[in-house]
């Protein structure tokens, strides 16, 4: 859900304003309304410095060194500059290494042809010329015509050198190669030297990570606080010939008491009001969900935040997402592996920031176990083929049932999305604006009951037809006459027809899209089955068969788990953020609640 906000406006005497802002920043509950379109020069520079610090901190954190902060008077931006210079140096060295590697590869077939050797040949009026030719095209008469020495034979190519006497003409059908100016030993020496320099720089980076990460974080915090303070000044309006400062912002309702206590203590003149008539894209958004839905908030934030006049859909898509993931992976064994691995990592090595994602993975693993039981698959083995599992056989769905289950889940989620859309329109725009959507909900529900009730034996279609027709007529009235209450009756009818065309074609396509749940789940099970069959085949090899059997099972199922988990995560995201969000009428565009505070 979205935390309700209250708008506050403060009027402060100009000589007391800076002191007021500092105390307001200590409390850290107000999201300041942005009024200035541009940053001043000082703020721009500070933001640039913060960006450099962030890049440096992220770089050093990746080193994974245990921190042991040093207090040796080093300045934070000396570290930032030095790291940037050394990163540039490494980039240049790596380019040089690429060029050196090419030269080494070029010179390697001829060995170490040193400068001393070249000088001695020059004194004898001999010039070495290097050639390469496919050995089957090599003419042995060349050895009689010239001072020719075979040097190397690599992959069917013959490398040789001819010592040219003075201006002697060399006329052979072979490719002449120009060797690098430096000898092979010199190139190797330079290559090793540059690699050692990279290693030396990386040791310096490790040392910086150990000693100065805390220093850099403190500097970032100091700069961020200062920048936020300058921004607060920037968004302040001067009133009464600059004698009074006006500052406005929003506070979450659960933090209002803290702010009011401060304002009364400081005797500050303020006005508070609801935000019912404000631009929904300007009011900050703070999500507040229960333990289960909260772990799925990162997925919501990946797409967009809802604006203030929308519903937070996180608690509504979270159960579907976990179920869809389980449907796609659908293997008891894989679910247990995910649950065990994530739980062990979460309680041993995981950093605090990772735990929310690991908790989500635990829910996804549990859903995989559940859907694996329903689909009857354990590491690619069908439970229907196991004698001791006969007691649960009746609970397992066959492929036809799983196919219809995927479509049923799609219809359920789309209907749920339409109900949420109707509720949102009712809540934020008024009941008349929700009637058209309620009409679609009634039409779809009537169709589902009319078709499903007959299949389940609740009633016959002929008996239910009058009620079904009545429901469709009533739905049509809502859909076509209340498509947009602001318009006249003819415009409503026209808009209703257009909306009907879009909704019918859209919902039909959306429902079909849920078949991917069945398709991905079946492909995962089939891959697991194939891995088992291959392992059984190779397991019959004498002596090494059992080892090969285990290796194929382990490697194959790990690969299937990784690949299928990726599909099981991506496709439910698409179903959530395309099919479900479209039918729920989600538009997004909300701005994250960012309080004016000193704590990062």
166-181 confidence digits (pLDDT tens): 888 888 999 999 888 8
DSSP string, 154-223: ETTEEEEEEEEETT-----SSEEE---SS-HHHHHHHHHHHHHHHHHHHHHHHHHHHHHHHHHHHHHHHH
Q: Rounded to two decimals, what is the model's pTM? A: 0.75
Place of tokens 């040097």: 151
422-464 confidence digits (pLDDT tens): 999 998 889 999 999 999 999 999 988 888 888 778 888 888 8
User: Does residue 600 register a pLDDT over 60?
Assistant: no
471-509 confidence digits (pLDDT tens): 889 998 898 888 888 888 888 888 888 888 888 888 888
Structure tokens at 497: 């027809």
Structure tokens at 487: 């318009």
Closest CA to 110 of 164, 153, 80, 163: 153
pLDDT average, residue stretch 138-144: 91
User: Does residue 191 register a pLDDT over 90?
Assistant: yes
Sequence-separated (6 or more) residues with CB below 8 Å from residue 35: 235, 236, 237, 248
Dihedral in degrees, nearest 10, Cα atoms 335, 338, 344, 347: -100
295-328 confidence digits (pLDDT tens): 999 998 888 899 999 999 999 999 999 999 999 9
413/116 Cα distance (integer angstroms): 81
User: Does residue 539 register a pLDDT over 90?
Assistant: no
Return the half-sphere exposure (C-beta side, CA atoms, 13 A cut-off) of residue 100.
19
User: Does residue 388 register a pLDDT over 70?
Assistant: no
pLDDT average, residue stretch 50-64: 93
Structure tokens at 27: 């409390």
Mean pLDDT check: name the lowest of 37-46, 306-315, 462-471.
Answer: 37-46
What is the pLDDT at residue 599? 62
What is the pLDDT at residue 131? 94
What is the pLDDT at residue 462? 84
What is the pLDDT at residue 117? 85
Give the chain's mean pLDDT.
89
552/541 Cα distance (integer angstroms): 13
What is the pLDDT at residue 527? 92
pLDDT band at residue 238 under the 50/70/90 scheme: confident
70-104 confidence digits (pLDDT tens): 888 889 999 999 999 999 999 999 999 999 999 99
What is the pLDDT at residue 390? 65
What is the pLDDT at residue 448? 87
Place of tokens 């690991």: 358
What is the pLDDT at residue 389? 65
pLDDT average, residue stretch 153-163: 92
pLDDT average, residue stretch 203-229: 92
User: Does residue 387 register a pLDDT over 80?
Assistant: no
């Amino acid at each position: 859900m979205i935390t309700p906000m209250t708008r506050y406006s403060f009027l402060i005497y100009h000589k007391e304003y800076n002191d007021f802002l500092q105390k307001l920043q200590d409390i850290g509950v107000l999201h300041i309304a942005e009024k200035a379109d541009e940053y001043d020069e000082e703020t721009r520079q500070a933001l640039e410095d913060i960006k450099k610090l962030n890049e440096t901190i992220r770089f050093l954190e990746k080193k994974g060194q245990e921190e042991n902060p040093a207090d040796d008077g080093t300045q934070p931006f000396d570290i930032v500059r030095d790291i940037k210079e050394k990163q540039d140096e490494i980039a240049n060295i790596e380019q040089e290494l690429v060029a050196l590697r090419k030269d080494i590869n070029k010179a390697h077939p001829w060995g170490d042809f040193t400068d001393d050797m070249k000088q001695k040949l020059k004194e004898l009026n001999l010039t070495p010329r290097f050639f390469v030719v496919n050995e089957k095209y090599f003419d042995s008469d060349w050895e009689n015509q010239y001072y020719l020495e075979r040097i190397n034979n690599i992959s069917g190519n013959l490398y040789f050198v001819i010592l040219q006497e003075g201006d002697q003409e060399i006329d052979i059908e072979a490719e002449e190669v120009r060797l690098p100016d430096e000898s092979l030993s010199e190139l190797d020496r330079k290559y090793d030297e540059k690699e050692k320099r990279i290693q030396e720089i990386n040791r310096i980076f490790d040392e910086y990570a150990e000693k100065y990460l805390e220093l850099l974080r403190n500097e970032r915090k100091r700069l961020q606080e200062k920048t936020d303070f300058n921004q607060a000044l920037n968004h302040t309006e001067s009133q009464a010939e600059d004698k009074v400062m006006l500052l406005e912002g929003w506070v979450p309702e659960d933090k209002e008491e803290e702010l009011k206590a401060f304002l009364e203590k400081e005797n500050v003149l303020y006005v508070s009001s609801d935000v019912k008539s404000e631009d929904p894209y300007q009011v900050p958004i703070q999500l507040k969900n229960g333990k289960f839905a909260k772990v799925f908030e990162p997925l919501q934030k990946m797409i967009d935040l809802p604006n203030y006049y929308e519903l937070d859909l996180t608690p509504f898509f979270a159960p579907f997402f976990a179920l869809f993931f389980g449907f796609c992976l659908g293997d008891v064994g894989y679910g247990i592996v995910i649950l065990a691995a994530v739980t062990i990592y979460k309680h041993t090595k995981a950093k605090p920031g990772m735990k929310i994602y690991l908790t989500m993975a635990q829910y996804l693993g549990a859903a995989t176990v559940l859907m694996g039981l329903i689909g009857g698959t354990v590491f690619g083995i069908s439970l229907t083929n196991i004698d001791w599992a006969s007691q649960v056989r009746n609970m397992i769905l066959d492929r036809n049932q799983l196919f219809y289950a995927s479509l049923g889940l799609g219809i359920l989620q789309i209907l749920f999305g339409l109900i949420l859309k109707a509720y949102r329109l009712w809540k934020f725009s008024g009941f008349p604006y929700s009637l058209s959507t309620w009409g679609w909900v009634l039409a779809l529900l009537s169709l589902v009951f009319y078709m499903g009730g007959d299949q389940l034996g609740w009633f016959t279609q002929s008996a239910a037809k009058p009620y079904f027709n009545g429901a469709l007529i009533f739905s049509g009235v809502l859909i076509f006459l209340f498509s947009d209450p602001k318009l006249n009756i003819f415009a409503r009818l026209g808009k209703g027809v257009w909306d009907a065309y879009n909704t019918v074609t859209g919902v039909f396509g959306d429902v079909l899209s849920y078949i991917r749940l069945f398709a991905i789940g079946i492909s995962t099970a089939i891959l697991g089955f194939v891995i088992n069959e291959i392992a059984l085949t190779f397991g019959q090899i004498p002596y090494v068969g059992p080892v090969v059997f285990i290796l194929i099972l382990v490697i194959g199922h790990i690969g299937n788990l990784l690949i299928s988990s990726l599909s099981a995560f991506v496709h439910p995201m698409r179903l959530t953020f395309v099919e479900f969000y479209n039918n729920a009428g989600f538009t997004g565009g909300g701005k994250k609640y960012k309080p004016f505070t000193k704590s990062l």
